[in-house]
Structure formats: structure tokens, C-alpha cells
Amino acid sequence: MKVYIKTAAIIFLLTSSAVAQQVPQLGKHTIKEVIGAMTLDEKVDFIKGIGMGVSSGQNGPVAGSIGGRVIGAAGATTKIPRLGIPEIIVADGPAGLRIEPVKIMNSSEVRYATAFPMGTAVASSWNTALANKVGKAMGNDVLQFGVDVILGPGANIQRNLLCGRNFEYYSEDPVVAGNIAAAFIDGVQSNNVGVSIKHFAANNQETSRNYIDVIISQRALREIYLKAFEIAIKKSQPWTVMSSYNKINGTYASESHELLTTILRDEWKFKGMVMTDWFAGRDYPLQVKAGNDLLMPGRKRESQKIKEAIENNEISIQDLDRNIEKILGLILKTPSFKKYNHQNAPDDKNNAMISKQSAAEGMVLLKNNNVLPFREKRIALLGNSSYDTFVGGTGSGEVNIAHSVSFWEGLSKAGFKLDNRLKSSYMGHIEKEKLARPKRNNILEAIKPVGELNVERSKMDTLANSSDIALITIGRNAGEGTDRSVTNDFNLSDQEMTLIKNTADIFHQKGKKVVVALNIDALIDVASWKDLVDGIIITWLPGQEAGDAFAEIISGKTNPSGHLAQSLPLKYTDVPSAGSFPGLPKERPTKSYYNEGVYVGYRYYSSFNKPVCYEFGFGLSYTQFSITNSTISNSKFKEAVDVGITIKNIGKTAGKEVVQLYVSAPGKTMEKPEIELKGFEKTELLSSGKSQKIKFTLTASDLASFDSSRSAWVVEPGTYKIKIGNSSKNILRTITFEVDKEIIVEKVTDVLKPKEAFEEIKVANQ
Ligand code: BGC
């Protein structure tokens, strides 16, 4: 009997291990074999995430948290242990890793991710090497905190300055947005973790974001809105792409085969995985069919619908398998799959340094009437945001941080003399105002600046006597889900205008100067008050080291070198999309007509001769630069032209310059913007008298425009002007070359066509 039982046990062990061996395991067997072993139920479960609020947390279940092991992560994929498939974790971006701070077991220590400057600030540096460093540092946080993919960067075009998520995005120009995104992605992914470039595509507003239908021409889509993604995706192969909430010409982005398969996969050769934005789209089987591989964050009903669609032959099992293959391909690359033993040990010191450096380099000096830099001065520090500085936006773009340095703190650490009584008044005022806020509508209320402290003229007079200079900060913040408004965001409030006017009036009477810092998420009105003050600097939302970066710029320790990556109009109504944003019908827009076509930002202002307050590409320095030499390889275009310039620091202070290359096309056979940015480069830190050579190469695809009638990228013949400068207006060199005959660079598929006729503005009609 005993012998019998033993034999049976051995037989059982042998057969069960044989069975175990037969079950394909991810990593040990091919992806196809693993998919072959999945049941239909496993498959339809696997192509969606694990949902919200289902985390097991670090120390057991945590109600309301999401994303498996990492509390505060945005989501996770479904694990299938029997096939060796682990869950992987995704968490927001793009200004830093958005997770809950991590409590270290058996210790009182809590560890935080770093908050870097907002996307626009990084882009304002025009420094791809710096964007790469930011990505590298952020990616290290991703790895250290046990996350596999960060949900960023945001490569949407800043079509209208009222978009509530502009702060997460880079620029109104696709060459800036695409190249900064590419550098950032390379940086993140050098840590062997992934990114999700988002929100693909034409997600340019928050109003009605879940259902707005973007009605847009194929040309504007290809040349502006898709271009930023195309550049970044082709250059840096992000691990994942996030499809957007909106519709494009009638179809949800996440349900669009034309967008996600024809363009992204077939034309651009994207090899990675596509996920939806959170709860995006309506028709889940259609999402599967479109090539939207993963549905996030994941709901049961999605699996049910997809199963039904398979059973009813509405979608094929091949579609499902193809998507699963992409998800598994992603999982194979991740730290979770490789069982990376993350220690929740971020490199805080290095991260803080990169955060500060990028914050300082993204600050844009707009006006400097011999006032900056200054040291050792007694500053009358005014404006709520000087004390309660906005360091980052809200919503998924927010970062939970350990600390942040306000402007007050940064300036006082740097040795400036500040008035402590003034500080107390401001702090008391801010606290009181915040407490008095209506409790409802919390999120919105929390991000809006509180009313400015009213500094009486008599008090201002005393301040002016005891200070050498006045520094006023005007603050704005924004977040996902709502757009900005002209009245509350773009325009200054009466209190803010009074503060600027009174300060300027009283300080100037005493021969003292006034500087305004703009601690803002996106551009605001400057034209109506810029003449009243002596200096203006945009600090953006500069991340956790805000005040230290700011003090470096004010004191001259860092020479400002940020330039605007968007145009600042004279007034909101000058914005080319002002009439059509956020869409129709006005009460609850469902359609957004992109009537301005390719004329977004400076493409519009330069072509329609509209004056602006500060032009795209503008930014001052404490030194001056000049271009001392320029060359072109050939004046007849063959396959490419090389343009060389030498730039020299002709001032007294070391500094960096942004060299911008624009092209004016002949515009004879096609409508063309007056100028288009085709290249840019940030110099190294050049000390006084030093020069740097910079080379740009322009290929036919750089010069091509999209001809919708032929569905082709075409270079028209004629004389092209290359304009090199340090802003879109300040052109320092112009070089011409000829294209003898038309070049068809690429024929593409005729997709994403508008289904209704609508007007697009034309220079010829103005
Ligand atoms: C946002 C995405 C974000 C996701 C996960 C969505 O509401 O649009 O940008 O990555 O939530 O938090």
C-alpha cells in the first residue's frame, strides 16, 4: 500500500511538472506561443487594465488607491501568473512621477518623487540636451519607485492660450514640441523604463474633452498637430503612445484605424503599444480593431463587449491577438518583468539640481530696462505668488512633493534683504483667503490664485522708502479638465492691475525700479501694463526648486536664456483660433472647427501682419550675441543643404543663445506661412568674446508641405529664404537657395478627411 501511494505521488509530480512545462511562459516561449495558450476570457481580460481603486498597495490593500504595488499610480495591466505574465505599472507625468509618497517600512522616512518644471518651461529652454537630462532624471524616479511606464510627455500643440493643459505641453510649433519631446523620451527610456507620449492627437482643449469633434483639414493635421508626434516617434521610438479623448473628423482617436494603424504603424513604423486615455472612447471592439492595444484604466464591461464582438464575428481574434502581442512586447521590456528590485531610493540630490537648472534655463526675460540682474538689494517683495509660489499644475500633471522653495525663500537664501513684516501680511492674507474659499468645487478653487492683498498707498510709500526695488509676482495655475478663461486667467484682475500701477507710480517717483515676475501656467496679458514697469520675467511653474532657480536669474548667477515657444498676442482676440475656441454650440461645444488651418501662432501673426506683444522665439539675455559668419553648402537644392553659422558672445557676461532657423518658401503653388521654424539649437555657455559654430541640415522632407489633393508631401520649386535669428522677428542672416523642380518627398494614404465642408483662412483672402 505504502509503495503504491509513493508511486502514485511520483507519477503525479512528474505529470504535473510536465504539464507546467507545457504551459508557455512569457520570456521563455515566444509571444505567439503564450498567446496561443490564453483562453478567450483571459484575452479579453488582458487587453484592459485592472481598473481604478483595486490596488493591493505596499502594505496590503489600500482603499481608493490604484496601480498595483505603487500607491497613487494611474493604473496597471492584468497579470496572468500561469503564463508568467506580471502586471506592469503606469503612472503620470509629465512634470515628474505622480505617485503617493512612499513610507519606508520600519522607519519614519517618507520618500517623494521630484517635481520638475512644467513642459512649457522645459521647452522654453530650447535645449534638447537639457530636456534629455530632465527625462533621464525623471526616468530614474520611475525606475526607483517601481513604475514601468510614465504617462508623458505631452506633445499636443498649444493651439489656443486658453487650453487648460498647455502647461503640460511644449509649444505652438511642432518642430520645438517634437524635438524637445524626443530628447525627453530618450532621457526617460535610457533608464530602461518607458514613456507614453500623449494625447494622440489634436487634443487641444479641455472643454468637452471627452466628446469634442475636431474638424480639421488634412494639411493642418499633418503639418501641425501630427507633426510633433511624428518627429518624436520617429526619432525616439517611445515604448507607448496614448490615444486621446477627442474625435478627429467624426471618429474618436482611440477608435480610429486611420490614425492608430494607417498613420502611426504603417506610415511612421511605430513598433510600440497604444493605450487609451483613461475611460476614452465609446466603442470598445472598434478600439481593438483600430489598433488601440490596451484599454485603460480597464472596466469589466469592456471585456464583455469585446467577447461578444468576437463571438458575433464583428471583430476578429486576429485583431485581439495582434493587440495582445503589442502588450506582451511591452511587458517583456519592463523592470517589473525583469523583476527589478526597486528600492524606492531616488537620487534626490541630482534630481533637485536638474530640476533647478531646467527651471532657471526655462525662464524667459521679456523686458529689461537696465534693472536686472541685481544683488545685495533690499527688495519690496509683492504679490501673493511671491510667497505662495505655484510650482506645478494640477490634475494628472501634478507631482506630490516633499517641499518646494517659494520665491521669498529662494531670494532670502540668496542673501537678498526682504521685509519680514510684509511677508507676515501676505502669509496672513493668503491663509485667510484660502480658508474663506467655498468648499464646493474644491479642485477648481484650489488652483486659482486668491485675491491680491491690497497694499495701501501709504504702506507702499513706506515700503518704497525702505527698499531699493520692487518685485511683484503675478500667479496663475491650471489643471486638467477645465480650460482657462479670458477674464480670470488671461486678463489681470483689477486688484493685480492696481498693485502694478500703484507700485510703479510710487517706486518710480522715488527713482526706484519695478520688476514683474510671471509665475504662470500659460501666457497672460502683458501688453496692457508692460510699459509701466522696468523688467518682466516669465518663470512659468518652475518645479520644486522654484525660488532657488528664480534667485539665480535675479542675481545673475544664471544668465537667462529661455525663449518663448509660443507667441504672446497683444490681446486675446488676436489669437487666430479665438473665434472658434472652444467650439460650437457655445453652451456645450461638440465640434471645434480649426478654421485657422496651418496658421497657428507665429505662422498666423507673421503671414497676416498682425503685431504681437512678444513674438515666438523671443527672449532676452544679460549679454548680447551676433552672428559673425554664415555659409551654405549649395545654392541649388539637391538632396539637402547644410547651413553653417558662427555665433559670438559680444557682451560682457557669459550666456547661452537660442539660434533659430526659419524658412520662407516661395508660396507660389501652395499657400505657405510667411515663415516656418525648421531647426533650432541652443549654444553652450559662451563666455564673453567666445564663438560657437552651429550646423543645420535641411532635407527635402524639412521643406515639404502637405498637399491634400495629392495626399503627398511636396517641395514646390522656386527661391527659398533661410532666415536665422534669435526670435521669429529678429532675423540676423538671410540666405537663399533654389529648388529647380518640384520634389514629391512621400505619398501617403488619404486618411482622416473632414466629412463636412468648413472655411479655412487664407492669406490670399485677407
Ligand atoms: C489624463 C491623462 C492621464 C490619465 C491617467 C487622464 O485623465 O488625460 O493625461 O495620463 O488621466 O491619470
Interval 522-549: pLDDT, tens: 999 999 999 999 999 999 999 999 999 9
Q: Which atom of ligand 1 is nearest to the CA of 198?
A: 9
**pLDDT attached to residue 22:** 84
* Cβ-Cβ contacts under 8 Å for 487 (sequence gap 6 or more): none
Interval 85-126: pLDDT, tens: 999 999 999 999 999 999 888 889 999 999 999 999 999 999
Does 592 contact ligand 1 (Cβ within 6 A)?
no
Does 396 contact ligand 1 (Cβ within 6 A)?
yes
pLDDT band at 21 (very low <50, low <70, confident <90, very high): low
pLDDT mean across residues, the chain: 94
3 state SS of 36: helix
pLDDT band at 63 (very low <50, low <70, confident <90, very high): very low
Instruction: Assign residue 523 a region (left: φ > 0; alpha: ψ between -120 and 50; beta: otherwise).
Output: beta
**pLDDT attached to residue 751:** 98
Say how many Å lie between the CA of residue 730 and the centre of ligand 1: 39
Q: Which three cell numbers stand for residue 709?
A: 489633393
Q: Where are the domains of the chain?
A: 358-565, 621-765
Distances 252 to 258, 286, 501, 752 between C-alpha atoms, Å: 11, 10, 48, 11
Question: 681: part of which helix (H) or strand (E)?
Answer: strand 676-682
Query: Per-residue pLDDT averaged across 469-486, rounded?
Result: 97
Does 92 contact ligand 1 (Cβ within 6 A)?
yes
Closest among 215, 205, 271 to 247, alpha carbons compared = 215
Interval 295-312: pLDDT, tens: 999 999 999 999 999 999
Q: How many alpha carbons lie under 13 Å from residue 605 in its C-beta half-sphere?
A: 22
Q: Which three cell numbers stand for residue 610?
A: 498682425
User: How far is the C-alpha of 680 from the C-alpha of 659, rounded, in Å?
Assistant: 5
Tell whether the model's pLDDT for residue 39 goes beyond 70. yes
Q: Answer whether 630's CB lies under 8 Å from 375's CB.
A: no
Q: Which atom of ligand 1 is nearest to the CA of 209?
A: 8
Say how many Å lie between the CA of residue 319 and the centre of ligand 1: 25
Q: Which residue, by CA, sits nearest to atom 9 of ligand 1?
A: 396
Interval 643-696: pLDDT, tens: 999 999 999 999 999 999 999 999 999 999 999 999 999 999 999 999 999 999
Does 743 contact ligand 1 (Cβ within 6 A)?
no
Q: Which three cell numbers stand for residue 300?
A: 469589466
User: How far is the C-alpha of 525 from the C-alpha of 148, rounded, in Å?
Assistant: 40
Q: Which three cell numbers stand for residue 354?
A: 536638474
**pLDDT attached to residue 605:** 98
**pLDDT attached to residue 53:** 59
Query: Per-residue pLDDT averaged across 189-198, rounded?
Result: 98
| Total residue count of the chain as it appears in this document | 766
Pocket test of ligand 1: the residue of 55, 70, 90, 92 to mutate, having most ligand atoms within 8 Å of its CB, is 92
Q: Which three cell numbers stand for residue 203?
A: 487634443
Does 278 contact ligand 1 (Cβ within 6 A)?
yes
* Cβ-Cβ contacts under 8 Å for 566 (sequence gap 6 or more): 120, 158, 161, 171, 172, 173, 523, 601, 616
User: How far is the C-alpha of 63 from the C-alpha of 193, rounded, in Å?
Assistant: 27
Say how many Å lie between the CA of residue 277 and the centre of ligand 1: 6
pLDDT band at 57 (very low <50, low <70, confident <90, very high): very low
User: How far is the C-alpha of 74 from the C-alpha of 704, rounded, in Å?
Assistant: 39
User: How far is the C-alpha of 380 from the C-alpha of 412, rounded, in Å?
Assistant: 12
Pick the CATH number of 358-565 from 1.10.1660.10, 3.40.50.1700, 2.60.120.890, 3.40.50.2300: 3.40.50.1700
**pLDDT attached to residue 449:** 85
Q: Which atom of ligand 1 is nearest to the CA of 196?
A: 10
Does 206 contact ligand 1 (Cβ within 6 A)?
no
Say how many Å lie between the CA of residue 278 and the centre of ligand 1: 6
Query: Per-residue pLDDT averaged across 283-287, rounded?
Result: 98
Active site residue 277: yes
User: How far is the C-alpha of 27 from the C-alpha of 46, rounded, in Å?
Assistant: 17
Q: pLDDT > 70: what percent of the chain?
A: 94
Interval 362-372: pLDDT, tens: 999 999 999 99
Say how many Å lie between the CA of residue 189 and the centre of ligand 1: 20
Count of helix runs (H) and strand runs (E) in the chain:
22, 30
pLDDT band at 446 (very low <50, low <70, confident <90, very high): low
**pLDDT attached to residue 103:** 87
3 state SS of 352: helix
Q: Which three cell numbers stand for residue 762?
A: 487664407
Side chain identity at residue 78, one-letter code: T
Q: Which residue, by CA, sits nearest to atom 4 of ligand 1?
A: 278
Say how many Å lie between the CA of residue 393 and the centre of ligand 1: 13
Does 209 contact ligand 1 (Cβ within 6 A)?
no
**pLDDT attached to residue 61:** 37
Say how many Å lie between the CA of residue 396 and the centre of ligand 1: 6
Which among 92, 213, 277, 525 is annotated as catalytic? 277
Q: Which atom of ligand 1 is nearest to the CA of 397?
A: 9
Tell whether the model's pLDDT for residue 328 goes beyond 90. yes
Query: Per-residue pLDDT averaged across 62-79, rounded?
Result: 71
Q: Which atom of ligand 1 is nearest to the CA of 92?
A: 10
Tell whether the model's pLDDT for residue 4 goes beyond 90. no
Does 529 contact ligand 1 (Cβ within 6 A)?
no
Pocket test of ligand 1: the residue of 90, 296, 396, 443 to mutate, having most ligand atoms within 8 Å of its CB, is 396
pTM of the model: 0.96
CATH of domain 621-765: 2.60.40.10
Closest among 189, 91, 112 to 397, alpha carbons compared = 91
Tell whether the model's pLDDT for residue 471 goes beyond 90. yes
**pLDDT attached to residue 6:** 52
Tell whether the model's pLDDT for residue 65 goes beyond 60. no
Tell whether the model's pLDDT for residue 55 goes beyond 70. no
Q: Which residue, by CA, sits nearest to atom 8 of ligand 1?
A: 277
Q: Which atom of ligand 1 is nearest to the CA of 481?
A: 7
Say how many Å lie between the CA of residue 65 and the centre of ligand 1: 15
Q: Kindly list the strands in the beta sheet with 691-699, ordered across the sheet, starting from the edge strand earlier in the chain.
A: 625-632, 640-649, 691-699
